[in-house]
Chain A
Amino acid sequence: MEFKIQNYQDTRSGFGAGLYEIGKLNPKVVALCADLIGSLKMDAFVKDFPERFFQTGISEANMIGMAAGLTIGGYIPFTGTFANFSTGRVYDQIRQSVAYSGKNVKICASHAGLTLGEDGATHQILEDIGMMKMLPGMTVIVPCDYNQTRAAVHAIAAFDGPVYLRFGRPKVPNFTSETEPLIIGKAQMLQEGTDVSIFATGHLVWKAIEAIQQLEKEGIHAELINIHTIKPLDNEAILRSVSKTKCVVTAEEHQRNGGLGDSIAQLLALNLPTPIEMVAVDDQFGQSGTPEELLGLYGLETADIIAAAKKAISRK
């Protein structure tokens, strides 16, 4: 299958574009931001819908609480800040005021993972997927490129319930269809194959595409599935693929503990024990560097996915 790069864009800009579009479509959509309008690409929404925008200043806990309150009265709040401040800093507020209270809040988190780059470990959260997926009733979505992030915003606006939407800063290949909607909970088949199932999420989906193209040259037919919805996981698609290939690689810009690989390993352990290799950060904090340097250093590069695939196949 051909994967055509339309352009290079940041997923956060996909968020900004989607937010503006749903703001136009639905007068019940409101947005909140904790002093990071430019970083979250919320400028267009702020400019055209000022009465539906709430600048909270640097007070993320208060922002999450306000978002919960805004649902009482029928609004659909989208909060925007960095992923670290969207999760770890406000975990208890999300747990009690949003998740346990069942409020229709969309927590939109940029600058997730190592690809934030030079700012270093304080800002490179690698634990957020784990924290969010543990909350009962929380939906967790990690789109892979600009178009898919934009589509995700439309999907979560139409979905009733709390959602965590994770995206990032660097410009990455934009290759998914501009018109394809994101269906929450439905994995996206990117390449059918028979030798190994690769389940990737977020920025590592493109790395996985590069990996399967290289593997194909070596005669290895890998299946690649984009898991944009970490929770609820598309169990059926995963089990169907693994039944065929009999070995698994997961790839994500997150700690191995609590991430996508962890969810898939649990699913397989309970239903279909299978050799699995995980491309993820191994219980470490990040550091300053360029996104590419960091992906290399922490073992999240194309070559790491290729090596993991070969190892998984050898364990069959």
Chain B
Amino acid sequence: MSEIKNLQRIASQVRRDIVRMVHACQSGHPGGSLGCTDYLTALYFHEMKIKPEVFEMDGVGEDLFFLSNGHISPVFYSILARRGYFDVSELGSFRKLHSRLQGHPTTHEGLPGVRMSSGSLGQGMSVAIGAAQAKKLNNDQSLVFVLMGDGEQQEGQVWEAAINAAGKNVDNLVAAIDFNGQQIDGPVSKVMPLGDLKAKYEAFGWIVYPLNGNDMQEVIDTLKLARKNAFQGKPQLLLLKTEMGQGVDFMVGTHKWHGAAPNDEQLRLALAQLEETLGDY
């Protein structure tokens, strides 16, 4: 099986996990989770050098990933479980009392694979910069990845971090924006237009790669390029054009599935579109 085909099969199972998790607790954020599934699958199952079997907070010698837009926790949890950080059976506890799988990711309950609490937006890139600076102090050649939302770019702290990463040459940092064009109150272009994000980050001193974040080949090629261009003085940004709800036809391209759970019938319709490749949890 080709690598792309293999990654797509993993992504299909992750998408099944997402809709099943959100359905089971009747809450959570399926839209952005489905849209970012391909990117996170490529990161965790192809690009990142990680040791899921022995999770260590400091992650010395490992690539690190931070999820800044913490509301897409369903995809993060499924990816972590499928990659072996914890047992997939635990996905069934999502958003339930005493679960390590809180509504938004946290280190507080000790879930392996999570290095930072997120949910209140705008904070992840700053944390990633700190972790990237720690890697430099440790002479650690691995990379730090961070994923943000597009609506999240409306937070001021993001731009404090963007200035810092370029101004202080944090060139072991690879950020990404899930540019699906939707936020809770509607299209980003209406709620608060972001203008030309590529031009903005480039003006700040970043290398920016616009790409189709739902095209697995393009994603892994761009990640490879980013690793090649690391340690050359500039931070890098993947501007992922994605579809919110990707993989489930009635969830695609609308903010209505940002934070809504499918009912039984909708779950059935969704699962019918997503092949069970690795076995449901």
Query: Which A residues lie at the B interface, using CB under 8 A?
Result: 30, 51-52, 54, 56-57, 59, 61-75, 77, 92-93, 95-97, 100-102
Contact = CB atoms under 8 A, between A and B. Distances in A.
Given A30-B137, A92-B120, A101-B107, A68 B164 contact: no
B156 A66 contact: no
B127 A68 contact: yes
Given A61-B156, A73-B137, A68 B130 contact: yes
B117 A72 contact: no
A66 B107 contact: no
B163 A57 contact: yes
B161 interface: yes
Contacts of A70: 130-131, 133-134
Nearest to B107: A101
A240 B129 CA distance: 48
Nearest to A90: B157
3 nearest A-B pairs in the assembled complex, by CB-CB distance: A69-B130, A65-B126, A73-B134
A210 to B, nearest CB: 44
A188 B31 CA distance: 56
Given A68-B127, A102-B108, A74 B116 contact: no
Contacts of A56: 164
Contacts, number: 118
Contact of A65 (B64, B134, B156, B161): B161
Given A74-B60, A74-B134, A96-B118, A69 B128 contact: yes
A64 B130 CA distance: 9
B8 interface: no
A101 B118 CA distance: 9
A275 B115 CA distance: 47
B143 interface: no
A65 B33 CA distance: 24
A54 B133 contact: yes
Contacts of A97: 116-117, 123, 126-127
Interface in B144-158: 156-157
Q: Which of B118, B123, B125 has the most CB of A within 10 A?
A: B123
A74 B157 contact: no
Contacts of B60: 73-74
Contacts of A62: 126, 129, 157, 160-161, 164
A65 B57 contact: no
A64 B160 CA distance: 11
A65 B123 contact: yes
Interface string B91-124: 0000000000000001110000001111110111
A195 to B, nearest CB: 46
A102 B131 contact: no
A103 B219 CA distance: 32
Given A73-B60, A97-B116, A100-B106, A65 B133 contact: no
B258 interface: no
Contacts of A51: 137
B137 A75 contact: yes
11 contacts: A51-B137, A56-B164, A59-B163, A68-B127, A72-B57, A72-B127, A73-B138, A74-B138, A93-B157, A97-B116, A100-B108
Nearest to A62: B160
B220 interface: no
Given A59-B160, A65-B157, A72 B58 contact: yes
B135 A73 contact: yes
A66 B134 CA distance: 10
A69 B161 contact: no
Contacts of B119: 96
Contacts of B138: 73-74
Contacts of A101: 106-108, 116-117
A102 to B, nearest CB: 6
Contacts of A59: 157, 160-161, 163-164
B140 A73 contact: yes
Contact of B126 (A57, A64, A72): A64
